[in-house]
Structure 1
Amino acid sequence: MAEKASARPEKIRCDACPVMCYIAEGKLGACDRYANEGGRIIRCDPLTVLDARIEAGGEIRPFLRADWDGRIGAGDLDITAIGAGTTYPDYKPAPFIVSREVDGADFVTVVTEAIFSYCGVKVKIDTDRHLGEECALVRAGGEVVGHMTTSEYGSQMMSLGGVDHLTGGSKPEGRATCDALLRLCNREAVELSVDGGATVVVQAGQPPIVDGVPEARMRVGCGSATIGMFASQWKGLVDEVVVVDDHITGVVSEHQAGKVIGWPDTGIRIKGRRSTPGRYFQVAEPGLGWGGTNINDPLEILNPWLEKKGARPGLTMLMVSTTGEHSAYYVLDDDLVPQPAEMPQELLPSVELIAENCEPALCTVMFMGGAGGSLRSGVTRNPVHLTRSVQARRTKVTVGGGEAYVWPGGGITIMADVLGLPGNAFGSVPTPALVAPLEFTTSREEFRALGGHDASVRSVDDVLESGGEYGSSARAVGRKP
């Protein structure tokens, strides 16, 4: 008689997020964050502790009995929410509510990995290159994940994610959005394409790569500002200077900065819309050329010169971009047409000075999210008290131990630079939603006043020694200065 087949291993249900996976022994859930180990749901990544005694970027793992020396100095050690686990479902207190003494005062830090459907990233890309029109759609893997927003001084801005892209569109759109957000927040490189515009590789803390070309410099200022900063550097060395810029092109002979140092008229005429003297808008279309315009020959922005206004044969002109990456020198011929000439050696330092004053072009990724019911209920039985305590600055919010900006107004809407967190601090769940580490720190007195889960408060020693609901693995990471 055939031997009866062995029973299939029993699966257990994980309640760490709304997906509620059934996980077999030794397997991971759909989020890759929780697993079934010996019939118990555990967190796969260790609880992360910031330790001032470790060099920034370094880490020790495991951090428990084998390596921890038992010393806790005020301000030396902070427990983050990275690896802590979640508050889901809403009725549970946060995974760790930790009491510690700082300068003689009793403080409580509540840590939880919050599930965010209402979240996204704001991306600042330091470049004059034209990435796309304002409101143009931004795509990752062909799916719409956000849009271009208003340009800032020397930077192009994107708004990516949000609940409409995560859950309001198709399943592929939601998955692509969640994947792009997760990778950006974890400091990975993500290729994004802008409808009608450029393709750009974005990575927090790294130069943007626009249409395959890495950016090196952020502009020193607009063309007008560049004239204002460096007009005195050019006086006596050249008859005219034009700083080409997509937004405000500057002309030194007309600009107030030139007038106050006695710069004579040259008879130059610039295409575009004249603003105040020496400042021109719309000299060309946006693009990847000189000063963020679509031109490769700067003479295209000039109209014929006027002899009666000072133009003459032999008049010299420097044309330069706002980053100093492009520069050219011209001399007017007998027909008052500018002809290319070799740049005089005495002008080179002024071009180099523009470049020197340009900061490195980088990408900045700011996580932004609205703290909802689940994580607030993990702190207090009356969530509005937490909201009001945060808004009144009696409770401090951090993200993975990094500084967070709390927006004024209703709710708890936060924004944090992902470079202020340890690596791989963010996770996701397939709802789809992002998982972000969140910490609330307040005095023990305030914690009790806002109805906090006081019975769940534990000491730092106990947390490091015993772990939590999802396991006891922990690591120490050097805190950024």
Structure 2
Amino acid sequence: MTEHTKVDHSSDNLDETMPSTPGPTVLEKSKPRSANMAANKVECNACPVLCQITEGRTGACDRWGNVEGVLTRIDPVVLMRRPVGPPASPALSLQAQGQDAGGGVAVQEAPASTELVPETDLFVSGVGSGTTYPDYKPAPFIVASKANGVDMVTVVTEGIFSYCSFKVKIDTDRYLGPEQSNIRHKGEIVGHVTTAEYGSQMLSLGGVHHLTGGSKKEGRITCDVMMALGNKQAVELSIDGGAQLVVQAGKAPIVDGVEEKRMRVGCGSAAIGIFAKQWFGHTDEVVVVDDHITGVLTEHQAGRCLDIPLSGIKMKGRKSTPGRYFQVANPGNGWGGTDISDPLSIIEGFDPEVARPGLRLLITSTTGEHAEYYELDEALQPQRKPMPAPLQKTVDRIGENCEPSLASVLFLGGAGGSLRAGVTENPIWLTNSIKKSLVNVTCGGAPAYIWAGGGITVMVDVLRMPDNSFGYVPTPAIVAPIEFSMRLSDYERLGGHVADVQAMDDVLARANHRIIDWVDAASPWPIAGKPVLG
């Protein structure tokens, strides 16, 4: 890792365990200087910490360094190549040479001439673009382009987000912990369990109160977790009163040391509705065990519509509507997200006035991972029997209809503060233009959902962003790429910094950069002539 320089003042904000981003190459920035600063240092104004950096070293975030007396963005700005058209020349990728032997910054100069691709085939992302904090001046890149014959502009920057979090959607029926329970990493609280959704458990991680509202250690560790999640790395978490987790974007979650396989097909009632006709004639009763709604075929409306006679089964729990039972067991890691290992434990018995010996009973979970077949004996006690082939086929089909268990990681941040001043002199015009769908907002090129209401609150799937899109500053806060694309005429109307618009050729000539292929083929090209949100 490139050695960094401690801050001459406010050094208590820094910590050697803070995460870092890979580098290096160069993007030049202004050369600020404080009156009491040594001649071989530059002061970095990319965040409020104001590191004073010795020549050949980097600041605390490892993102900015002192290269021959010039404050320099160490990582290359990432450009993305459109998935159509002729391939770009390899000469376009200006890769870093790495560190020198003394731990300093070594960078590669841009070649004198470079074969260029058409500007419409490239998109300048915010990844590695640098910032103009405190944004009293225009964004690092304001790039002109054309789309369908329309003059376009994309304003590119790295936003410093204190007000941000990650929402983690875990597709599993497994119980993770009570709602509102604290989530910890290395003993520090970094988030909480939020409301479960259909077939998924939801976590909220990070946020301004954990970053800045607690102890310095809590803030540092929260920042560490957030940056790792955003950069698609695995993170270990523990839930108070619940499970131990390993989550990683796009990977199956590991719950209490076991990798999850399936997301449930639906609740117990939904499973009854889906498979009732397939069970008809092959069994007399079906119980689908679920933590939330356990279904009973013969009482359920689907069973009544098929004229399946009642079985006389008596279930534990609280009866809701016919054939739907709540709270048959406690949440857990057993059958259907409950704490049971014996499915008969949720059955109180059978009504002798209705049930009969030989009655056939299938009990299955909502994923099909657990299933047993029983027949009632003369005392109306269920006796386990081999699973008949037609019923095994339906159990297999339940599993077939379960999607793979995955963890999805969504970045949620408020693009406020002075970031907007880097786009326009009048930020409310930018906000209003976004709400009117005149401006397309992306994060690392990935489409961003804009939340309703005031402000510019963006949400984006990190899997659709380039690798290592997220950084940090040791205030602490998360650094994330953001781009605003619009028609040139609209940019002029919203009071944009039109005088600072530059051609793609100029970006390629002056900025060290690397070009990657478009990350997600399903993502629309951000510069479409007619920007559409989300």
Q: Which AA in structure 2 matches 1:61? A: S
Match of 1:162 among 207, 225, 238: 207
Match of 1:424 among 433, 446, 468: 468
The aligned runs of 1:276-355 (5 Å cut-off) are: 276-309=321-354, 311-355=355-399
Match of 1:72 among 104, 110, 118: 118
Match of 1:40 among 37, 51, 70: 70
Q: Which AA in structure 2 matches 1:22? A: Q
Stretches of structure 1 that go unaligned for 5 or more consecutive residues are 1-7
For 1:35 and 1:444, how far apart are their aligned partners in 2? 34
Q: Which AA in structure 1 matches 2:44? A: C
- How far 1:290 moved relative to its partner? 0.3
Kindly indicate whether the alpha-carbon contact (under 8 Å) linking 2:141 and 2:155 is maintained by their aligned counterparts in 1.
yes
SS at match of 2:438: coil
Partner of 2:517: 477
For 2:345 and 2:508, how far apart are their aligned partners in 1? 68
Q: Which AA in structure 1 matches 2:118? A: I
Q: Which AA in structure 2 matches 1:245? A: D
The aligned runs of 1:44-443 (5 Å cut-off) are: 44-53=74-83, 61-62=93-94, 69-72=115-118, 74=120, 76-309=121-354, 311-443=355-487
Kindly indicate whether the alpha-carbon contact (under 8 Å) linking 1:130 and 1:288 is maintained by their aligned counterparts in 2.
yes
For 2:479 and 2:231, how far apart are their aligned partners in 1? 11
For 2:385 and 2:441, how far apart are their aligned partners in 1? 59
Q: Which AA in structure 2 matches 1:361? A: S
- How far 1:373 moved relative to its partner? 2.2
SS at match of 1:184: helix
Q: Which AA in structure 2 matches 1:347? A: L
Kindly indicate whether the alpha-carbon contact (under 8 Å) linking 1:54 and 1:479 is maintained by their aligned counterparts in 2.
no
- How far 1:77 moved relative to its partner? 1.7
- How far 1:446 moved relative to its partner? 1.0
Compare relative contact order (CA 8 Å, sep 6+) and give the higher one, 1 or 2: 1
- How far 1:382 moved relative to its partner? 1.2
For 2:237 and 2:93, how far apart are their aligned partners in 1? 35
SS at match of 1:348: helix
- How far 1:66 moved relative to its partner? 9.0
- How far 1:32 moved relative to its partner? 1.0
- How far 1:327 moved relative to its partner? 0.5
For 2:216 and 2:390, how far apart are their aligned partners in 1? 61
For 1:238 and 1:405, how far apart are their aligned partners in 2? 47
For 1:375 and 1:37, how far apart are their aligned partners in 2? 26
For 1:9 and 1:125, how far apart are their aligned partners in 2? 52
For 1:384 and 1:406, how far apart are their aligned partners in 2? 15
- How far 1:388 moved relative to its partner? 1.1
- How far 1:193 moved relative to its partner? 0.7
For 2:322 and 2:280, how far apart are their aligned partners in 1? 18
Kindly indicate whether the alpha-carbon contact (under 8 Å) linking 2:119 and 2:505 is maintained by their aligned counterparts in 1.
no
Q: What do you get for the CA RMSD once the two structures are aligned? A: 1.8
Deviations 1:99-145 (A, max 9, x none): 11111111110000000000011110011111111111111111011
SS at match of 2:502: strand
Partner of 1:23: 53
For 1:370 and 1:405, how far apart are their aligned partners in 2? 12
For 1:124 and 1:9, how far apart are their aligned partners in 2? 50
- How far 1:11 moved relative to its partner? 1.7
For 1:135 and 1:39, how far apart are their aligned partners in 2? 50
The verdict on how the C-alpha distance between 1:65 and 1:259 changes in structure 2, with shifts beyond 3 A counting, is farther
Kindly indicate whether the alpha-carbon contact (under 8 Å) linking 1:90 and 1:373 is maintained by their aligned counterparts in 2.
no
SS at match of 1:461: helix
For 1:181 and 1:86, how far apart are their aligned partners in 2? 20
Partner of 1:4: none
Kindly indicate whether the alpha-carbon contact (under 8 Å) linking 1:373 and 1:383 is maintained by their aligned counterparts in 2.
no
Deviations 1:60-119 (A, max 9, x none): 732865996422163x32110111001202202100000111111111100000000000
- How far 1:474 moved relative to its partner? 3.1
Length-normalised TM-score, structure 2: 0.85
Partner of 1:455: 499
For 2:58 and 2:163, how far apart are their aligned partners in 1? 26
Length-normalised TM-score, structure 1: 0.94
Q: Which AA in structure 2 matches 1:90? A: D
SS at match of 1:462: helix
Q: Which AA in structure 2 matches 1:268? A: I
Q: Which AA in structure 2 matches 1:20? A: L
For 1:79 and 1:480, how far apart are their aligned partners in 2? 15
For 2:350 and 2:306, how far apart are their aligned partners in 1? 23
Deviations 1:189-226 (A, max 9, x none): 00111110111111000001000000000000000000
SS at match of 1:414: strand
SS at match of 1:50: strand
For 2:286 and 2:210, how far apart are their aligned partners in 1? 47
SS at match of 1:19: coil
For 1:100 and 1:346, how far apart are their aligned partners in 2? 61
Q: Which AA in structure 2 matches 1:16? A: A
SS at match of 1:458: coil
Kindly indicate whether the alpha-carbon contact (under 8 Å) linking 1:52 and 1:479 is maintained by their aligned counterparts in 2.
no
Kindly indicate whether the alpha-carbon contact (under 8 Å) linking 1:27 and 1:35 is maintained by their aligned counterparts in 2.
yes
- How far 1:27 moved relative to its partner? 1.0
Q: Which AA in structure 1 matches 2:468? A: N
Kindly indicate whether the alpha-carbon contact (under 8 Å) linking 1:48 and 1:477 is maintained by their aligned counterparts in 2.
no
Stretches of structure 2 that go unaligned for 5 or more consecutive residues are 1-37, 96-109, 522-534
The aligned runs of 1:6-17 (5 Å cut-off) are: 10-17=40-47
Partner of 1:3: none
Kindly indicate whether the alpha-carbon contact (under 8 Å) linking 1:86 and 1:94 is maintained by their aligned counterparts in 2.
yes
